[in-house]
Amino acid sequence: MIDNPCKLGKMSWSPDGKTIAYLSAADKRDPHNGMLYAVDVATGKARALTEGFRGSVNYIQWSNGGLIQAIVSKGVRTYLATIDPTTASMAILHG
């Protein structure tokens, strides 16, 4: 279902079953699976949700409200964040 030539990490189904969020490397040369992507199950189309984020996504899970909850690292700091899969906007909640 997910056509991704890069290193894959954790995957998580959305509560409505329409989207899979997953962690992957940015490209084939990237050794870390710290980018967040979402794939539409019906179309198979994936899109990057953390493009331009100068950090790493380490863990993901969906909230009941349809947001992706994540543990992210930036430098030596670790934060709890939410990512809206429709807008790709990230809100840092605590860190």
The three-state secondary structure class of 50 is coil
| Closest listed residue to residue 33, CA positions, set 48, 22, 46 | 22
Note the pLDDT tens digit of each residue in 33-53.
Answer: 678 999 999 999 999 999 889
Note the pLDDT tens digit of each residue in 49-73.
Answer: 998 898 999 999 999 999 999 999 9
Q: Which residue in this structure is represented by tokens 């056509």?
A: 3
pLDDT, position 79: 95
How large is the average pLDDT for residues 78-88? 95
Q: Are strands 56-62 and 68-74 parallel, antiparallel or unpaired?
A: antiparallel
